Chains A and B, each alone.
Chain A
């Protein structure tokens, strides 16, 4: 019985009930006229899902997000791996990305709108600048820190440079590269929503700001709730794909 009580799933359920219960309670006090209860939010979510008003906005959010993420994944991994393999590229490129990773790059958004207007391009670039530094730095450090004995193993068995890179360095680095992709995707979501709130209201950002402006707070909360759930699911799926496609050793035991 006690093992059932501390089972991860039981506890997860308990904590979800507590969290949503608290939300419901705070909404009923109410702590603010702009704070709907959990049940109001859920019914608004249901209504928006049913009348299609929620599903119809997602493509607009997804377009810059996906394009941006694909660009920064390909470009970012390529840059990072190259910097990890080549000392000159490392010297030249790594400091820039180290600075960029700690920098609040969101501050570039006003500049981007200024240069590229309020269209898709600005939003794609926003997603890219938010997600790329972490992808590059993860790929770079992962490649740079391949265990020496693994590389020596490849050399002693007469692997060519190309074989050592393709069969040893990249596979050894792939878990950390993948972790970078997950972090990058999370940053990309932050960037995509920020772009929609800041540049022009489209997609889910439009749903949030519009309902905020007409004081339909339950719908506003429902929109926010949906994008949070969506982002978390997206990243969860990304994590699963790693196990399925790249880590046969992990897949066997899980």
Chain B
């Protein structure tokens, strides 16, 4: 299975991120990834879904350039990844906001590190704070925001640097269920509007089916891509209708049947 390239789409779409034969062994001998090959098409949201221990976060951090693979190669737009890059932006599971900085400074931080001057970067950050729905909160500090709002700041920060690929590491896992649903709906809009490639790590089957154009199902021991699923659910109906759509529910059920043997 892993010998042939796992292209997530069936038609000849452009590939944004290529992961080729990546193996990651942590110091101490824990093997997180074993000869993993997977390609991510441009302009789509692809979920990496799987039980804990299947190496999904490790894979995401390797694509981000935060971890070095033990073997194998990652290419973004055909260029080898050697470290973090301008064309990729990361959204962190625990938000990674700076508690001493206001919302606007946090959102503009990627640009601040690039050396952009203050008025310019704050104008850009302001635009994205508006897009993620936090207009009016610019001068608050992270501890004054709810978990969901904090992650919106994290998303604004990632959008502000105008990267082509957004890497999201379980972005909603620290957010309560109601906020999470609203956030999922909003992310679909952002995917539509921004024409970026999203790689989205999650352990929630419903979330993956709801937000993704395609889902890469990862399985542990040894870690591998077991299947690529394109949910193809109707997007023209209301969010609540989608969640009741038989096609949606069938896909959720099918994935669960595939995963349940791996859940203790």
A and B in contact, CB less than 8 Å: yes
Tell me the bound Cα distance from A230 to B246 in angstroms: 74
B residues apposed to A, CB below 8 Å:
61, 64-66, 83-86, 88-90, 92-94, 96, 98-102, 109-110, 112-114, 140-144, 157, 161
Tell whether, in the assembled complex, residue B102 and residue A157 are in contact, meaning their CB atoms are under 8 Å apart: no
Q: How far is the CB of B223 from chain A (nearest CB, A)?
A: 21
Tell whether, in the assembled complex, residue A156 and residue B141 are in contact, meaning their CB atoms are under 8 Å apart: no
A residues apposed to B, CB below 8 Å:
147, 149-150, 152-160, 163, 167-168, 171-172, 174, 246-249, 252-253
Tell me the bound Cα distance from A158 to B162 in angstroms: 13
Extra inter-chain contacts (20) besides given A152-B61, A152-B96, CB under 8 Å: A147-B96, A152-B66, A153-B92, A153-B109, A155-B66, A155-B83, A156-B65, A156-B84, A156-B89, A157-B90, A157-B109, A157-B110, A159-B113, A172-B100, A174-B100, A248-B100, A249-B100, A249-B142, A252-B144, A253-B144
Tell me the bound Cα distance from A159 to B98 in angstroms: 14
Tell whether, in the assembled complex, residue B113 and residue A152 are in contact, meaning their CB atoms are under 8 Å apart: no
Report A-chain residues with C-beta under 8 Å of the C-beta of B96: 147, 149-150, 152-153
Report A-chain residues with C-beta under 8 Å of the C-beta of B157: 157
Q: How far is the CB of B79 from chain A (nearest CB, A)?
A: 15
Tell whether, in the assembled complex, residue A154 and residue B92 are in contact, meaning their CB atoms are under 8 Å apart: no
Tell whether, in the assembled complex, residue B141 and residue A157 are in contact, meaning their CB atoms are under 8 Å apart: no
Report A-chain residues with C-beta under 8 Å of the C-beta of B92: 149, 152-153
Q: Secondary structure at chain A's binding surface: helix, strand, loop or mixed? A: helix
Q: Which residue of B lies closest to A164 (CB)?
A: B113
The listed residue (B100, B113, B142) touching A157 by CB distance below 8 A is B113
The listed residue (A153, A156, A249) touching B99 by CB distance below 8 A is A249
Report A-chain residues with C-beta under 8 Å of the C-beta of B61: 152
Count, A-B residue pairs, CB within 8 A: 73
Q: How far is the CB of A106 from chain B (nearest CB, A)?
A: 37
Tell me the bound Cα distance from A244 to B89 in angstroms: 33
Q: How far is the CB of B34 from chain A (nearest CB, A)?
A: 23
The listed residue (B88, B101, B113, B140) touching A163 by CB distance below 8 A is B113
Tell whether, in the assembled complex, residue A156 and residue B114 are in contact, meaning their CB atoms are under 8 Å apart: no
Tell whether, in the assembled complex, residue A155 and residue B84 are in contact, meaning their CB atoms are under 8 Å apart: yes
> Known: A167-B112, A249-B142. Contact between A157 and B93, CB under 8 A?
no
Q: How far is the CB of B59 from chain A (nearest CB, A)?
A: 15
Q: How far is the CB of A175 from chain B (nearest CB, A)?
A: 9
Report A-chain residues with C-beta under 8 Å of the C-beta of B114: 157-158
Report B-chain residues with C-beta under 8 Å of the C-beta of A163: 113
Q: How far is the CB of A245 from chain B (nearest CB, A)?
A: 11
Tell me the bound Cα distance from A160 to B143 in angstroms: 27
Report A-chain residues with C-beta under 8 Å of the C-beta of B113: 154, 157-160, 163, 167
Report B-chain residues with C-beta under 8 Å of the C-beta of A157: 84, 89-90, 109-110, 113-114, 157, 161
Q: How far is the CB of B99 from chain A (nearest CB, A)?
A: 6
Tell whether, in the assembled complex, residue A249 and residue B143 are in contact, meaning their CB atoms are under 8 Å apart: yes
Q: List 29 A-B contacts (CB under 8 A).
A: A147-B96, A149-B93, A150-B96, A150-B98, A152-B61, A152-B90, A152-B96, A153-B92, A155-B66, A155-B83, A156-B66, A156-B88, A157-B84, A157-B110, A157-B113, A157-B157, A158-B86, A158-B110, A159-B113, A160-B113, A163-B113, A167-B109, A168-B98, A171-B98, A171-B100, A172-B100, A247-B100, A248-B100, A253-B144
